[in-house]
Amino acid sequence: MTEPSQIEVVAPNLKRRLSGVTATVVRLLPVQSKMIGIVATGPGLPGDLPHISLSRAASLPRSRWRVWHARRNTEMALGLIFRRLLRRRYRLLFTSAAQRHHTGFTRWLIRQQDALIATSPQAASYLEREATVILHGVDTGIFRPAEDRSALRRELGLDPDAVLIGCFGRVRAQKGVDLLVRAALRLFPDHPKARLIFTGRITKENEAFAEALLAEAEAAGLRDRISFLGELPWDEVVRHYQALDLFAAPARWEGFGLTPLEAMACGVPTVAARVGAYETLIRDGVTGSLVPADDLDALTAALRHWLEDEAGRQAAGLAARRHVTENHAIEGEARAIVDVYRRLLS
């Protein structure tokens, strides 16, 4: 059990199911715990993370200031309750990835924070207060190219000879899943080795959406080349990244969007829409391609380029891995956030 005197930062996670925010907490804490006394609190987190119960977080001794690092509205509100009603000595910090105008209640919560972090310059522009911009990073030790991609594909039940395109994340229109399926239906008749896989949860409200897309593939005679694999364990998601030739992230809008970084860290070039932080992460023509959002023709053309240029794909994959290790490793993100913690505690 972590002693109260060792706890300098509490990172809440108030959502049981895996989400982008939860994944951020899970990947950052092991790195940050080597730099500062940090613990998580809340449900849905792996048992090996430094962790305290919510009741303990609400009753930590008032002998010192600590940072409460929220990433959701509910977590900002709970931090305020702990500080104002329970008189806990928390400095309040909020990280925002949203690239939209906030509601009145969210703006009020943001005004109560002692400091703000934004995951991109675009997100910072919507906060109406000064924020430290810290881009997400990835663990390049976990996300790395496969030693033997053909052998890995065989283990995963994937065609070793395919040109494999992947798109990972929840299956819904916001992620541009329909655009990618329709681009594949245009391209695949002329590219017999091409295959498309999706990983990610299909919620009940999106089941009809996914079934309609599969019906389109069936009508085109391409159903066997497009697969929805569902929600996979985290280590299996990593292995599927490593099996890819090309990654696609055609979202219609996005907060930050970590999947292209994860793919590029695995040596996979990425085609992505110009949303979220993708323009900051992807070097157009070098580590992949950027296309306008919600533009099926542009997406199709970019995918065709990489499908038809095997040598270019391989060079872009090497460039993508190098770009991520040099500019977006998780250690840099962790250090920058810890610097904000230390300023709040000083």
- 103-134 residue pLDDT tens: 999 999 999 999 999 998 888 999 989 999 99
- Taking the C-alpha atoms of residue 314 and residue 299, their distance in angstroms, rounded to an integer, is 20
- Taking the C-alpha atoms of residue 265 and residue 242, their distance in angstroms, rounded to an integer, is 9
Is 168:199 a contact under the CB 8 Å cutoff?
Answer: yes
- Where, residue-wise, is CATH 3.40.50.2000 in the chain? 4-137+329-345, 149-327
Complete DSSP assignment for 277-317: THHHH--BTTTEEEE-TT-HHHHHHHHHHHHT-HHHHHHHH
Strand partners, 69: 93
CATH number of the 4-137+329-345 domain: 3.40.50.2000
pLDDT number for residue 1 = 61
- 31-76 residue pLDDT tens: 999 999 999 999 878 888 999 999 999 999 999 999 999 999 999 9
Least confident interval from 15-24, 26-35, 69-78, 128-137: 15-24
- Picking from 178, 195, 135, the residue whose alpha carbon sits closest to that of residue 331 is 135
Taking the mean position of all CA atoms in its chain, how far away is CA 5?
A: 33
Complete DSSP assignment for 94-140: EEE---SPPPHHHHHHHHT-SEEEESSHHHHTTSSS--EE----B-T
Q: Per the structure block, which two tokens stand in for 319?
A: 């460039």
- 214-225 residue pLDDT tens: 999 999 999 999
CATH number of the 149-327 domain: 3.40.50.2000
Dihedral, 201, 97, 176, 172 alpha carbons, nearest 10: 30
Report residue 18's pLDDT band, with 50, 70 and 90 as the boundaries: low
Is 9:34 a contact under the CB 8 Å cutoff?
Answer: no
- Taking the C-alpha atoms of residue 343 and residue 187, their distance in angstroms, rounded to an integer, is 52
Q: What is the pTM of this model?
A: 0.83
Q: Per the structure block, which two tokens stand in for 139?
A: 């663990």
Taking the mean position of all CA atoms in its chain, how far away is CA 155?
A: 25
* 19 pLDDT above the threshold of 80: no
Q: What is the mean pLDDT of residues 275-281?
A: 86
Q: What is the H or E stretch that residue 28 is in?
A: helix 20-32
Q: What is the mean pLDDT of residues 231-244?
A: 93
